[in-house]
Structure 1
């Protein structure tokens, strides 16, 4: 029978007094003064002091800033992450500080437990204390420096692992998969051990997926595939690519992992040899997402994908562009009429921010022009269709001194920037990214306009 959440709080590890002293030291106190008089909000010494002029109309009653402080406590059998919210306020010149435990995580006895405080009671789960840009229970937390990393490495249940470095958010995966990690480290499967330990993300060629699938990796799988990984730096992606390519009666061509994710194999047309296809991908440095858009164009044009010159065109960019032109000719009139309605709903998204203009395409065909100018796939039928239907929103980012010249293209989807790319899919500069973040922040209240409109 599952224990009440309160039981975990009643039996939690006790933070040292130095933690509370540190928390209070992070909270400033207040001082008002003039030539005749000085008023101190508190007699705390080990904190900063905000000084203000004392006047007849000085505000002496107000709320301070909500602060969240955390501590990670470690024993041989437990790891706990405790988060405390501190509220300070001043009433008639006197400071009042209150605090309570608001979020709690415990790793012990093969369990990971999450407990939060809501409505004066503890429940299972975690609560976002601050909204912020990223939100979440730890978005603005400050952790007490108590050498918790060394304690986890040397005295916790994770002490048998070789841990190069650790961030508090990585404790969960390390604890959950410590048996698998230990096994991989013992057989010197360095790359896979690291992927499991840190739950790495693979950003290769525009993809953004976890490098490992822990639904697949278990004790049986590790034992069966030990020969493949032992004493190597082979990754999970390499293994799955090799396995799935073998299912297509082929073998893995070295270097293909830079271009293909194993989950892409079933998207490759079956009318071509898988080895020939890999060599074509590598030779032409094909962006697979761009290739998939090309295949969608062929389907939209009712062109059978059953011959080598269609599946592997000599020049993918030319083949893609020709397909776009043909499809555009077929769909132009209908799309432009549909887009007039969509444009009216999103035209107010145009903003000038810093040195940049965020421009809504005036016509659906503008996406085709943008894609050509910047040599990326925003001009593909899939992007145009989704933009018209409101499933995504394409915005042109321009230098405000040259509004007619294509610069960067932004895709806004599900209330956030989905991607921001320049010529040949290059990443944005720091100032462009910062301006885009400001633009996105302004749109938070308009999310409903962007979705399903």
Structure 2
């Protein structure tokens, strides 16, 4: 099981040792590194050296490695080098000196200090510092942190809940609303409300064009060509025949008049979904039966041809 590079010795000049004697890097304490780490270490050599001198081994390693760290405490580099620079290091020296805190924990602590709130243990494991800054100003930060510890929810999930409240123009003044006892139920209830409101708007929009669709309702041979009375009927059609007509793409396009969804029924079974037709740009775009696989019977195809001819004449 050999390959092109089997038994090849890379870098026979002992580059690891030579790198430690490089004039720009000689004051750094370098663990065993991979060649892909060299450029990053060289670029941020000042920041790494400064942190090592003040005894902050963890943050120095976070900067050095882009991949998995060798000591197992952190698994990935999580530092933001747009934040860490000479001024930032000197300004926060007292916080960073001989510290084993993660970058996220440090940033959370600095942010909480601006709000006169003491750091809470293990908060950095529950939330990212950038997420805290996304909270609307109306939300009490102390109460939110306690709520977060109790509920242990995903922050993005909670923020989605807050955004939905704002979409519904709900004032963020009541703790019962801002911090519901069951965040998952409260979130899902809002999803349902907004979904219902959106459907109502779509239905109103659809009602405006229903008159123009009436010409598509025809009785041809043994078949009925019917226009959906509302959008829910299209969803039901898709569910009954197990095809994609009930999806958002077709609902939106049918509502806006970009396409036309027509139900085909057998006269003696007019309530039972049979085939679904899409009429677009003055011709039949597709006809789908159950599971999108059912072949169109000859008698139905003849009726569809007659229907299309008639619609073109009417148009």
**Would you say same fold, with TM above 0.5?**
yes
Structure 1 residues 9-48: aligned runs within 5 Å? 26=4
Deviating beyond 4 angstroms after TM superposition, the runs of 4 or more aligned structure 1 residues are 333-338, 359-362
Q: Please report the TM-score for the alignment, with normalisation by the length of structure 2.
A: 0.56
Q: Quick one: which of 6, 10, 31 aligns to 1:144?
A: 10
Question: CA offsets, 1:242-279, max 9 Å, x none?
Answer: 12122223222111111222212222233343222112
Match of residue 31 from structure 2: 164
Is contact 2:139-2:172 (8 Å) kept?
A: no
In 2, the alpha carbon distance for the partners of 1:360 and 1:143 equals 57
Q: Quick one: which of 240, 247, 253 aligns to 1:363?
A: 247
In 2, the alpha carbon distance for the partners of 1:298 and 1:321 equals 12
Q: How many residues align?
A: 204
Output the aligned Cα RMSD.
Answer: 3.6
Is contact 1:192-1:235 (8 Å) kept?
A: yes
Q: Please report the TM-score for the alignment, with normalisation by the length of structure 1.
A: 0.40
Structure 1 residues 190-201: aligned runs within 5 Å? 190-199=57-66
Residue 231 (str. 1) matches residue 98 (str. 2): yes
Question: CA offsets, 1:210-265, max 9 Å, x none?
Answer: 62222332223222211111112012222221121222232221111112222122
Is contact 2:63-2:77 (8 Å) kept?
A: no
Give the 3-state SS of the residue equivalent to 1:216 in structure 2: coil
In 2, the alpha carbon distance for the partners of 1:240 and 1:335 equals 45
Give the 3-state SS of the residue equivalent to 1:215 in structure 2: coil
Shift of 1:362: 5.2
Structure 1 residues 73-84: aligned runs within 5 Å? none
* Residues 1:324 and 1:170: Cα distance change in structure 2 (over 3 Å): same
Give the 3-state SS of the residue equivalent to 1:267 in structure 2: coil
Greater fraction of residues in strand: 1
Residue 253 (str. 1) matches residue 136 (str. 2): no
Structure 1 residues 40-439: aligned runs within 5 Å? 144-146=10-12, 147-155=14-22, 157-199=24-66, 211-332=78-199, 363-364=247-248
Question: CA offsets, 1:166-217, max 9 Å, x none?
Answer: 222222220011111011112111111112222579xxxxxxx962222332
In 2, the alpha carbon distance for the partners of 1:143 and 1:304 equals 67
* Residues 1:360 and 1:251: Cα distance change in structure 2 (over 3 Å): farther
Shift of 1:323: 0.4
Determine which structure has greater relative contact order: mean sequence separation of CA pairs < 8 Å that are 6+ residues apart, divided by chain length: 2
In 1, the alpha carbon distance for the partners of 2:24 and 2:92 equals 26
Name stretches of at least 5 consecutive residues in structure 2 with no aligned partner: 69-75, 207-230, 232-242, 253-315
In 1, the alpha carbon distance for the partners of 2:77 and 2:138 equals 30
Name stretches of at least 5 consecutive residues in structure 1 with no aligned partner: 1-24, 28-46, 48-141, 202-208, 341-358, 366-384, 386-453
Greater fraction of residues in helix: 2
* Residues 1:361 and 1:273: Cα distance change in structure 2 (over 3 Å): farther
Question: CA offsets, 1:69-112, max 9 Å, x none?
Answer: xxxxxxxxxxxxxxxxxxxxxxxxxxxxxxxxxxxxxxxxxxxx
Question: CA offsets, 1:420-440, max 9 Å, x none?
Answer: xxxxxxxxxxxxxxxxxxxxx
* Residues 1:165 and 1:236: Cα distance change in structure 2 (over 3 Å): same
Shift of 1:318: 0.6
Shift of 1:319: 0.5
